[in-house]
Amino acid sequence: MDAAQALVMAMQTWGIIGGLVAAVFLTIGMDRIDEDARGAYIFRPLLIPGVLLIWPIVLWRWWQIETEAAGWAGRYRAVRGWYGVSVIAMSIAIVAVVITGFAVRQTWPADAEPVQLSTGDSQ
């Protein structure tokens, strides 16, 4: 398996798990943790793309609320706690990616001359 296949498989696996989480959460989980959502169904398909992307956070919050592991504010604290670090890390990563891209970019080999290794029948 080469790098491209591995990337595609990783994304497919992430998406499949996200789809399963979306199916369970939007049909069962949401009713269990959010009484305001009970009986409301039209908006739920709109959440599918988001759940596909951030299903680990969906599961984590579901678990936090379901088990009452934290007060209502505490359910969000762990995620918020990473915001600052994430913003700095992503800012550095963007600059690093751009600089690395420029650094490893090939230069057009304008000086490379064609080399004839053997003559053809018509020469």
Partner 1 sequence: MSDKPFFVGYLPVPGPLRIFLLSVCVVLIGGLAAAGYIMGVTQDDPGPGAFRFDYGRQTVTGVVEMTPYPVIHVTKGNDRIKPGDSFMMTAGGKSGVDSRAMPLNGQLAEVSGIILERGDLYMMQLRGGRNGLKAAEGDAPEIVAEPQGRWQLTGEICDGKCLAGAMRPGRGLAHKACANLCLLGDVPPIFVSSQPVLGEEFLLVTGPDGTRLPRAAYDYVAQFITAEGEITRRGDLLVWEIDTDTIKVTP
User: Of 67 and 116, which has the nearer Cβ to partner 1?
Assistant: 116
Task: Round to the nearest angstrom and report the end-to-end CA distance of the chain.
Answer: 45
Max distance between CA atoms of the chain, in angstroms, equals 86
User: Of 2 and 68, which has the nearer Cβ to partner 1?
Assistant: 2
CB of 109 to partner 1, least distance (A): 5
Residues that bind partner 1 (CB under 8 A): 102, 105-123
Cβ atoms within 10 Å, residue 52? 17
Task: Assess contact for 26 and 47: CB atoms under 8 A.
Answer: yes
CB of 84 to partner 1, least distance (A): 17
CA 16 to chain centre: 13
User: Of 67 and 122, which has the nearer Cβ to partner 1?
Assistant: 122
Closest CA to 59 of 7, 18, 31, 106: 18
CB of 92 to partner 1, least distance (A): 15
User: Of 68 and 113, which has the nearer Cβ to partner 1?
Assistant: 113
CB of 14 to partner 1, least distance (A): 21
